[in-house]
Amino acid sequence: DIQMTQSPSSLSASVGDRVTITCRASQTISSYLNWYQQKPGKAPNLLIYAASSLQIGVPSRFSGSGFGTDFTLTISNLQPEDFATYYCQQSYNNPPHFGQGTRLEIK
């Protein structure tokens, strides 16, 4: 199985800040990396697919990059609605493991 490791596990930031979350795969996954946002009591919501492609309807302050084993999700100009938990997920092969999550909290 390909394991996904996110860092940090939690992060405090203020409205207007720029934050970066990293995700590392235990072996190369090319660009088959997806990012999801999850709010309490809700299902995950797709933000980024193929490492850097923005899902339709997602604000452009979200961006993704990376290839191989190391990936980043960047949120620029944080908005109040962005405080949530973020997960990466590989779709290179089955099982499509998720990272353990990064909880983004208001400072």
Residue numbers of the site for other proteins (CB under 8 A)? 32, 34, 36, 42-46, 49-50, 55, 87, 89, 91-92, 94-101
**Min CB(91)–other proteins separation in Å:** 4
CA 95 to chain centre: 18
- Residue 91 to residue 105: CA distance in whole angstroms: 28
**Min CB(67)–other proteins separation in Å:** 14
Sheet of 62-67: strand order equals 4-7, 19-25, 70-75, 62-67
17 or 103: CB nearest other proteins: 103
